[in-house]
Amino acid sequence: MRLAADLDGRLLEIRDLRAEDVRPDEASAWDDWDDDWLPDDEQPVHHRAAIVLDGTVVGTMSWHAVLYGPTRGSRAWSMGLALAPAARGQGVGSLAQRLLSDALLETAYRVEASTDVANHAEQRALEKAGFHREGVLRGAQYRADGEHHDLVMYARTQAPGSAPSPAREEARAGGDTLAG
């Protein structure tokens, strides 16, 4: 996968994550997750990508499917990102989230993202990327500090009447690197 755009004369890319990529999100105290609590066959498939600015990895993105019903049309994508501190406040997060959500909206009607209620910078970045605030998810995220944290949910949806049809998704399935 490769998505790219100009950011004030600099090249911003979202590309497949490589084993040698530096991952700024692994340095966070909140990333000490216990992700082995579900059996392997129940683990969600997490897709990962690098955020690259002028050839330097400045962050990572991930996304996974969320099912709101039994039909293919009920699938949404949940996405997130982590940026190195030096890359924050420059529009990198907003543009990266806009690029990835645009691509994901080609395969689903809804893309969502959540962030901590205290993370006002990410809330602004999501709004700049075209996401709309939907509400607070109380105690939704359990973290390494042993506490449940509130999250703010944001989402983007396709224009009314433009949901991908199952036939369109079947046709894309052969080469769609975003949906796996």
pLDDT score at 160: 72
Percent of the chain exceeding pLDDT 90 equals: 64
Model pLDDT for residues 121-131, shown as the tens digit of each residue: 999 999 999 99
Domains of the chain, by residue range, sit at 2-28+44-172
Of the two residues 20 and 22, the one the predictor is more confident about is 20
Q: Tell me: pLDDT of 140 over 50.
A: yes
Tell whether the model's pLDDT for residue 49 goes beyond 90.
yes
Class of domain 2-28+44-172 (CATH, top level): alpha beta
Q: What is the pLDDT of residue 34?
A: 53
What's the CA gap between 115 and 153, in Å, rounded? 7
How confident is the model at residue 143, as a pLDDT?
82
56-67 and 47-53 beta bridge pairing: antiparallel
DSSP assignment string, 75-94: EEEEEEEEE-GGGTTTTHHH
| Closest C-alpha to 24, from 56, 69, 65 | 56
Confidence label for 45 from pLDDT (cuts 50, 70 and 90):
confident
- Whole-number pLDDT of residue 30: 43
Q: Name which residue leads in pLDDT, 120 or 46.
A: 120
Task: Look over the chain and give the mean of its residue pLDDT values, rounded to a whole number.
Answer: 84
Confidence at residue 108, expressed as pLDDT on a 0 to 100 scale: 94
Question: What is the predicted pLDDT for the residue at 105?
Answer: 96
Residue 174 pLDDT: 40
> Which pLDDT belongs to residue 50?
94
The pLDDT confidence band at residue 41, using thresholds 50, 70 and 90, is low
Contact between 136 and 116 (Cβ < 8 Å): no
**What pLDDT was estimated at residue 26?**
59
